[in-house]
Amino acid sequence: MRFSHVEMGRTDMNKRCISPFIRLMVILTSLTMIGCTQLKAAKVPQPAVEKIPGINTIAIIPFQTIVKETKKGGVVSCPICGNLFKSGEIVPNAEKRLTQLFYQRLNALEAYRVLPIDQAGEAISRALYDDLKASHLKMAVRVGKELNADAVLSGFVFHYRERKGYAYSVNRPASVAFEVHLISLKENNSIWEGSFDETQKSLSENVLKLYAFLKIGSKWLTADELAEQGVEEVLKKFPGLRRK
């Protein structure tokens, strides 16, 4: 009988020891499941991007170079809004590079139907043939209507200077300046403009851009790389591209 009493006592003690342990495991498991649920909730895809009201199709007119022919390094103005920019060196095909970059970025958003660049180029040739003295705004509106677009993206490049040197050592940094306008065919006018004018500086010259400098790996960018940054920066402020 004493033996049985001891065994029963041990059994009761085991139950008392195991029970709190089990309860603790249940609590920890529940907390883990809640944490996983919250983590999954955080990964829910973001709502779709809003479109600009009334604009579904955008035509991109090939960029144009604007240079000061009478004085190298002078000031030039945007043909649409009159904003002033410093004129400078423009490497060959810079306008084509910027046109392609904007086409790729806007097309990737899938918020609008972006017409192929060559369609706009052909329409511009026909417009210029009919009226060589037409203003850029008038020509852009005419091209957009011919292509049945709701808006036209038109851009200008004022300088596009390549770096002199290498990724980690330069004698002269890259420099890029451009401006773009979104022209509504309904209003026959620009409804938005975005510009970029940047000459890369060393960290010692501009400590306020520490994050940007470290983000690119603390290296000196080529003109094309700087232009890519500029296009991404400008499109962050593109109208209608905000989350719901």
Residue ranges for the chain with pLDDT beneath 70: 1-50, 69-73, 127-134, 202-218, 240-244
Give this prediction's pTM. Answer: 0.72
Q: How far are the Cα atoms of 153, 162, 182 from residue 67, in angstroms, in the given order?
A: 20, 16, 22
pLDDT value for 171: 85
Q: What is the pLDDT of residues 57-77, one digit of tens each?
A: 999 999 999 987 655 568 999
pLDDT value for 69: 65
pLDDT value for 22: 47
Distance CA 32, CA 25 (A): 10
CATH of domain 57-235: 3.40.50.10610
pLDDT value for 30: 45
Coil/strand/helix, residue 152: strand
CA-based max dimension of the chain? 117
pLDDT value for 110: 81
Coil/strand/helix, residue 112: coil
Residue extents of the structural domains in the chain: 1-44, 57-235
Q: Please state at what angle helix 223-235 crosses helix 94-109, rounded to 10 degrees.
A: 40
Q: Please state at what angle helix 117-130 crosses helix 136-146, rounded to 10 degrees.
A: 120
Q: Are 61 and 32 in contact (CB under 8 A)?
A: no
